């Protein structure tokens, strides 16, 4: 054990990926095809995807929500963790990106486990609550516009059952959250989200320094 973090050099990050990641072929193909996409940074890393997969399995997730689909990389990892009959509600607004996501879901054999709702995510989350979904979901993943992170979190927490997990990406914001001189709107939004989650007595929480930082909370 150690009280300090081992610095994650590019060489060590590559080692972790090579040794641990079991990336399915459709996901590897998607990642390689979109490597040079102008918005490639919106896609999580393979080790993050597998970590979400492990979390969803550990939670025994049958019902999940994803806020921010992009091209379907993270939703595929989570859907692969669901049992037959499980369902992931995927929230996004881009039909263009959703078309590529659907292709990946189909190739990975999880298309029947994913319900895509193309609408502003807050509207979709409110609709799920209005449909009687409060307390009926097992897993929520947030990876969308940073200004609404707290709003997504609050609705996600309402949808979760006790013992359910909410995860949020980018909570280290490429180191910006620790830079007092950085007053950009997204940075401030992430700082506010982190403070909010840290002080929330409805959950137990932690931040895993994987990728760009993954906040994790278990609903009490």
pLDDT number for residue 40: 62
pLDDT number for residue 39: 79
pLDDT number for residue 2: 66
| Rounded CA separation 139/133 (Å) | 13
> In order of start, what are the domains of the chain with their CATH numbers?
10-35+44-219 (3.40.50.150)
Query: With contact defined as beta carbons under 8 Å apart, do 93 and 168 qualify?
Result: no
Q: Which tens digit of pLDDT belongs to each residue from 139-198? A: 999 999 999 999 999 999 999 999 999 999 999 999 999 999 999 999 999 999 999 999
Q: Which tens digit of pLDDT belongs to each residue from 81-100? A: 999 999 999 999 999 999 99
Q: Kindly report the CA angle at 23 between 17 and 24, in degrees rounded to 5?
A: 170
Query: With contact defined as beta carbons under 8 Å apart, do 64 and 88 qualify?
Result: yes
Whether pLDDT at 125 is above 60: yes
Q: Which tens digit of pLDDT belongs to each residue from 14-38? A: 999 999 999 999 999 999 998 888 7
Q: Report the predicted TM-score, pTM, of the whole model to 2 decimal places.
A: 0.95
Strands 214-219 and 160-169: what pairing?
Answer: antiparallel
């Amino acid at each position: 054990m150690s009280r300090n973090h081992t610095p994650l050099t590019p060489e060590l990050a590559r080692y972790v990926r090579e040794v641990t990641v079991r990336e399915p072929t459709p996901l590897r193909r998607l990642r390689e095809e979109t490597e040079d996409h102008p918005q490639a940074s919106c896609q999580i890393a393979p080790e993050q995807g597998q970590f979400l997969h492990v979390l969803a399995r550990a939670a025994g997730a049958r019902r999940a929500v994803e806020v921010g689909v992009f091209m379907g990389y993270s939703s595929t990892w989570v859907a692969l963790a669901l049992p037959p009959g499980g369902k992931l509600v995927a929230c996004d607004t881009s039909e263009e990106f959703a078309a590529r996501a659907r292709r990946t879901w189909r190739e990975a054999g999880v298309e029947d486990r994913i319900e895509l709702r193309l609408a502003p995510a807050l509207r979709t989350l409110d609709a799920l609550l209005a449909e009687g979904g409060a307390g009926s979901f097992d897993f929520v993943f947030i990876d969308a516009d940073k200004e609404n992170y707290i709003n997504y979190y609050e609705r996600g927490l309402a949808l979760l059952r006790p013992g359910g997990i909410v995860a949020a990406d980018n909570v280290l914001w490429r180191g910006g959250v620790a830079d007092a001189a950085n007053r950009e709107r997204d940075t401030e939004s992430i700082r506010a989200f982190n403070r909010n989650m840290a002080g929330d007595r409805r959950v137990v929480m932690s931040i895993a320094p994987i990728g760009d930082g993954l906040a994790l909370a278990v609903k009490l």
